[in-house]
Structure formats: C-alpha cells, structure tokens
Structure 1
Amino acid sequence: MAPVFLQHNRRISALITVICLALLVFCLIERQVRQALGGNQTMRGLYPDNRAVRPTGRMILYHLAGLRMRAGTATDPPTILIIRGVQAHLLELLGIDETRPRWLDT
C-alpha cells in the first residue's frame, strides 16, 4: 500500500477490517470442506500428480477460480459451468448446488 491511501486512522481501520473479513471467509471455506470430508480430511485431484492431501483454502479457491456462470433467461435459470471434476467435488463438499444458485431461494 502506498502511504497516500493510509494517511488517516479511519482508512487504516477500514483496511484492517476488510483483511480480517477476507481471512474469515477464507478460513470458513477451508473448514467447511475439511469437515465435509470426514475423519480422513484428504482428497485427490488438487495437485497434478493426484496425491491425497489435506485441502487448504488457497488450493480450494485456486480450483474454484475457473468457475463460470451461464446467464439465465425467464424459462431457464442460471447455472454454474464446471470445467473439471475437482470443481464439482468441491462444490458438493461446500453444499452448493450448481443448478440452483442460492439467490433463487429468496
């Protein structure tokens, strides 16, 4: 960060708040996936050599970064386009249905 953006205490406080919220979301995603995996807490497909490892928040978000959403119409709801199988497995572990985005339930 350039010193120009952090000249006032309010800006420093706001930056720390945003960083803490991002870290909280990061940790909650990692925790949800690990709990859904059960006692073993390892999964395959996160690395190219297909070894079984404990998923980290960084690896989860790396694999989910390639997801795209197809826009919906009046008769066809929007859906998440999955490119790799590990993405489908991670969405399943997170409890996300790719055919029904959450905002449709409200």
Structure 2
Amino acid sequence: MQDNKRVPALVMVICLALFVFCLIERQVRRALGSGQKMPGLYPGNQQVRPPGRMIPYHLSGLRLRVVGATDPPIIVISGGVQLHLLDLLGLEPTHPRWPET
C-alpha cells in the first residue's frame, strides 16, 4: 500500500462483501424454514444445513451467456442445486430484468 487512504477503502470493500455474503446465507436459511436441511450441497445428496461457504461455491458455477446485442442475456444453470438456491433467494433465472427491445 502506497498511501494510507487506501486502507480504509479496502476494509470497507471487504466489509461490504461480507455483508452481502451474510445476507445471502440468511435468506437461504429463512426460505428453507424450520427444517433447514437441503440435499445436494455435498456429494452423496446428504440432507444438511447449508453452510455459508457452500452457497457461493455452488452459485459460482452460474454463467451468463450473451447471445446478441438485442437479445437479453441467458443464465446458464449447470445443476439442480443452483436452480434450488436461486429459487430460495427469490430470483427468476428465466426472466431477465432487462426489458425486451
């Protein structure tokens, strides 16, 4: 670090990332309900309570495919766990937020 003014900015970015991470984990656990167990997070389809680090791990496999300049982008979902997590988060992967042109 060359300047001490960058350190508070770096700490702020890290804190914001952790805040978003915690909000995602909280939303998934609230959507699961009292049972709080979800299959497919670990190999063998064990029913487990979703640990915070496994949620972004599974969502990291999502890909955004841009077809053309006038077509909306498509979210490529490679697994059922990703679709289940997006559903728990209240996101519609098949309906982009961008208006049709």
Same fold (TM over 0.5): yes
Residue correspondences, number: 98
TM-score of the superposition, structure 2-length normalised? 0.87
CA distance in 2, matches of 1:78, 1:16: 33
Instruction: Give the letter for the 1:68 counterpart.
Output: R
CA distance in 2, matches of 1:101, 1:25: 21
Structure 2: state its 5+ residue gaps. Answer: none
Matched residues, percent identical? 63
Aligned position for 1:84: 79
TM-score of the superposition, structure 1-length normalised? 0.83
1:57 lines up with 2:65 in the alignment: no
CA distance in 2, matches of 1:39, 1:19: 31
1:31 lines up with 2:26 in the alignment: yes
CA distance in 2, matches of 1:18, 1:78: 28
CA distance in 2, matches of 1:20, 1:31: 16
Paired residue secondary structure (1:9):
coil
CA distance in 2, matches of 1:72, 1:96: 21
Aligned position for 2:37: 42
CA distance in 2, matches of 1:32, 1:67: 19
Structure 1: state its 5+ residue gaps. Answer: none
RMSD: 1.5
Deviations 1:78-99 (A, max 9, x none): 2211111001000100111111
Give the ranges of 4+ consecutive aligned residues of structure 1 lying more than 3 Å apart after TM superposition: none
